[in-house]
């Protein structure tokens, strides 16, 4: 039985789902609000070069993503490089890229380092993090790493990544990060190895979009969905009043958008969706003449620095792609109430570049060729205490024919493209089952 399926949201999740549903014979339409598809993976132009708005890397263990790239014929366009990680603590730079760096890491004494190593090994060895959902992240880290390391390293990192939201975040959050990064260092020398597709995610999105259109998927961009409601069909009403009709609709947008555009959800569903706490991000792309320190990521614990992460993309991507220049990202993770979320681009740019000059004696503002700001509000659903029991949004809704599949349903993992694509693969059998069943209220209530 062929169903007419509407997918709201043309990010990697919506587009991957579209590919799978089309392969199963359904008539699929993707409705995307932005002028082009891609969502968080979209690119922008910076000083005459095009690259991702937000920094992205592929890890060697991203098996589901690598399989998708292979299906799209992009395996030969993957580049892998050893990379380095930096730490900026008390105004000093430290490399934390090899076991030797770790042994030398001056901010911690030998015993503290041993406990930190134990924390990392313990997290890396645990396969399922759900049992950690009931433990506050701070409590767990202090228990395993000790109070000194917690105060000196972990707490500043938690505050910089999560702001005050760290208090309601569970240990499953840090477990999933440690595990992912540890596995990126799978080689015998424990060196980190990261990858990217030549041309960045713009290349992946172009290929995926062309592939979908070739297979007969309709992609409509510039369609901001204002309401999804059940009449004889599922009606999707765009902001301009146009109505699109389907047998089934899958919402891949963030949870607050689901609650807003689906007024028929009942009170219990709304309450649950309201439990999901998101972090957003403000992220400045900087094209500059000179490289910085050569670390892919620098973690920052000093609280006077207004951004929480420096990513030197050209420590991974060939500088030739940027005319011999360097591409940096300066990112600050923000909650909805963080004043930085509403500051203007010019003000943030001035503060960020000023701080960068203080951090890197070799960096000068007059080396900057171009800057560009990117922002996103509902990026990462935090693993709050007892997330699976209290907040995790279900696939089905009480509105017949309306399903939800979004990254707030990632448990046991961090937010990344591999986990996002894996969500599709994991839920596909159930979604296909629902598309071929009639969307009666009884079914939808399951
Ligand atoms: C700063 C940053 C760094 C990251 N680094 C990495 C990394 O190194 N490696 C990695 O693997 N992953 C990384 N990620 C995560 C990765 O970007 C996400 O996992 C992935 O892009 C999520 O895709 P999605 O389709 O679920 O969501 P989105 O890309 O958010 O897609 C949702 C889509 O819905 C659309 N939409 C919203 N409302 C409406 C509406 N009303 N009507 C119609 N459409 C609507 C949006 O425009 C958007 O296109 C990073 C993300 C960020 C922000």
Confidence band of 445 (pLDDT split at 50, 70, 90): very low
pLDDT digits (tens, 9 = 90+) for 260-291: 999 999 999 999 999 999 999 999 999 999 99
- Give the pLDDT of residue 92: 87
Question: Domain ranges in the chain?
Answer: 4-40+201-275+389-444, 57-82+193-199+278-381, 111-179
Q: Taken in order 159, 181, 195, 60, is the CA torsion positive or negative? A: negative
Q: Residue 2 corresponds to which tokens in the numbers above?
A: 């062929």
Entry pTM: 0.94
pLDDT in tens, 166-217: 999 999 999 998 888 887 776 555 677 899 999 999 999 999 999 999 999 9
Per CATH, the architecture of 4-40+201-275+389-444 is what? 3-Layer(bba) Sandwich (3.50)
SS3 state of residue 285: strand
Give residue 99's pLDDT: 73
- Determine what percent of the chain is predicted with pLDDT higher than 90: 79
Q: How far apart are CA 110 and CA 101, in angstroms?
A: 13
Give pLDDT, residue 234: 98
Coil vs helix vs strand at 81: strand
Please tell me the residue having the least CA distance from ligand 1 atom 17.
Answer: 40
Nearest-10 crossing angle of helices 12-23, 417-436 = 40
Whole-angstrom distance, CA of residue 169 vs CA of residue 178: 15
Q: Which of 11, 17, 62, 66 to mutate to test the pocket of ligand 1 (most atoms within 8 A of CB)?
A: 11
* pLDDT at residue 96, as a whole number: 81
- Cβ of 296 less than 6 Å from ligand 1: no
Q: Please name the residue that has the structure tokens 């263990």.
A: 61
CB distance 376 to ligand 1 below 6 Å: yes
- Tens digits of per-residue pLDDT, 307-344? 999 999 999 999 999 999 999 999 999 998 899 999 99
Q: How far is the CA of 164 from the centre of ligand 1 (A)?
A: 23
Q: Per-residue pLDDT for 104 more than 90? A: no
Q: What is the pLDDT of residues 106-165, one digit of tens each?
A: 888 889 888 988 898 888 889 898 999 999 999 999 999 999 999 988 998 898 888 889
Tell me which residue has its CA closest to atom 1 in ligand 1.
Answer: 54
* pLDDT (mean) for 345-372: 96
Q: Is the CB of 179 under 6 A from ligand 1?
A: no
Task: Report CA(189)–ligand 1 centroid distance (Å).
Answer: 33
The Cα 240–Cα 253 span in angstroms is: 19
| CATH class held by domain 57-82+193-199+278-381 | alpha beta
Q: If pLDDT is split at 50, 70 and 90, which confidence band does 441 have?
A: very low
Whether the per-residue pLDDT at 345 is higher than 70: the answer is yes
Distances (CA, A) of 65 to 14, 258, 367, 423: 14, 26, 36, 11
Q: Is the pLDDT of residue 419 over 70?
A: yes
Residue 439 pLDDT grade (very low, low, confident, very high; cuts 50, 70, 90): low
In ligand 1, the atom with minimum distance to the C-alpha of 37 is: 49
Between the CA of 92 and the centroid of ligand 1 the distance, in Å, is 34
∠ CA 205-206-212 to the nearest 5 degrees?
Answer: 85
d(CA 36, CA 34): 5
Instruction: Evaluate: CB of 197 within 6 angstroms of ligand 1.
Output: no
Ramachandran angles phi, psi of 57, nearest 5°: -130, 160
Please indicate whether the domains covering 4-40+201-275+389-444 and 57-82+193-199+278-381 agree at the CATH topology level: no
To test the pocket of ligand 1, the residue of 6, 9, 64, 341 to mutate (highest count of ligand atoms within 8 Å of its CB) is 9
Return the percentage of the chain with pLDDT > 70, whole number. 97
Q: How many CB atoms lie within 10 A of CB 411?
A: 18
3-state helix, strand, coil in the chain (%, to 5): 40, 25, 35
Closest CA to 36 of 219, 189, 294: 219
Q: What is the mean pLDDT of residues 43-54?
A: 97
Q: Look over the chain and give the mean of its residue pLDDT values, rounded to a whole number.
A: 93
Residue 442 has a pLDDT of 41
Q: Is the CB of 39 under 6 A from ligand 1?
A: yes
Residue 277 is given by DSSP the state: P
The answer to whether 55 touches 309, Cβ cutoff 8 Å, is: no
């Amino acid at each position: 039985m062929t169903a007419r399926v509407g997918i709201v949201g043309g990010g990697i999740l919506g587009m991957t789902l579209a590919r799978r549903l089309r392969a199963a014979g359904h008539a699929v339409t993707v409705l995307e609000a932005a002028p082009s598809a891609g969502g968080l993976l979209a690119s922008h132009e910076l000083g005459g070069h095009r690259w991702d708005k937000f920094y992205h890397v592929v890890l060697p263990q991203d098996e589901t993503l690598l399989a998708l790239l292979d299906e799209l014929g992009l395996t030969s366009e993957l580049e892998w490089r050893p990379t380095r990680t930096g730490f900026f603590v008390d105004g000093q730079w430290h490399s934390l890229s090899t076991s030797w760096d770790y042994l030398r890491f001056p901010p911690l004494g030998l015993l503290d380092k041993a406990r930190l190593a134990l924390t990392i090994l313990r997290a890396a060895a645990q396969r399922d993090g759900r049992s950690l959902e009931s433990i506050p992240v701070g409590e767990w880290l202090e228990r395993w790493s000790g109070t000194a390391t917690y105060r000196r390293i972990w707490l500043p990192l938690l505050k910089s990544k999560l702001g005050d939201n760290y208090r309601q975040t569970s240990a499953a959050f840090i477990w999933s990060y440690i595990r992912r990064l540890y596995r990126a260092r799978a080689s015998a020398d424990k060196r980190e190895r990261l990858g990217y597709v030549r041309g960045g995610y713009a290349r992946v999105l172009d290929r995926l979009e062309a592939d979908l259109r070739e297979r007969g998927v309709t992609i409509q961009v510039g369609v901001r969905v204002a309401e999804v409601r059940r009449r004889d069909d599922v009606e999707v009403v765009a902001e301009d009043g146009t109505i699109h009709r389907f047998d089934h609709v899958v919402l891949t947008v963030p949870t607050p958008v689901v609650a807003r555009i689906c007024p028929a959800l009942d009170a219990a569903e709304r309450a649950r969706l309201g439990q999901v706490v998101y972090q957003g991000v403000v992220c400045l792309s900087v094209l500059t003449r000179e490289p910085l320190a050569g670390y892919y990521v620098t973690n920052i614990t000093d609280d006077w620095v207004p951004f929480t992460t420096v990513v030197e993309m050209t420590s991974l991507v060939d500088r030739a792609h940027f005319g011999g220049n360097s591409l940096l990202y300066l990112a600050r993770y923000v909650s909805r109430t963080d004043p930085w979320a509403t500051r203007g681009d010019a003000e943030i740019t001035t503060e960020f570049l000023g701080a960068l000059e203080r951090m890197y004696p070799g960096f000068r503002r007059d080396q900057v060729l171009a800057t560009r700001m990117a922002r996103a509000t509902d990026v990462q659903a935090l693993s709050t205490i007892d997330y699976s029991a209290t907040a995790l949004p279900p696939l089905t809704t009480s509105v017949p024919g309306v399903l939800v599949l979004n990254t707030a349903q990632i448990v046991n993992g961090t937010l990344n493209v591999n986990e996002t694509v894996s969500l599709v693969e994991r839920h596909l059998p159930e979604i296909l089952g629902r598309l071929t069943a009639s969307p009666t209220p009884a079914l939808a209530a399951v």
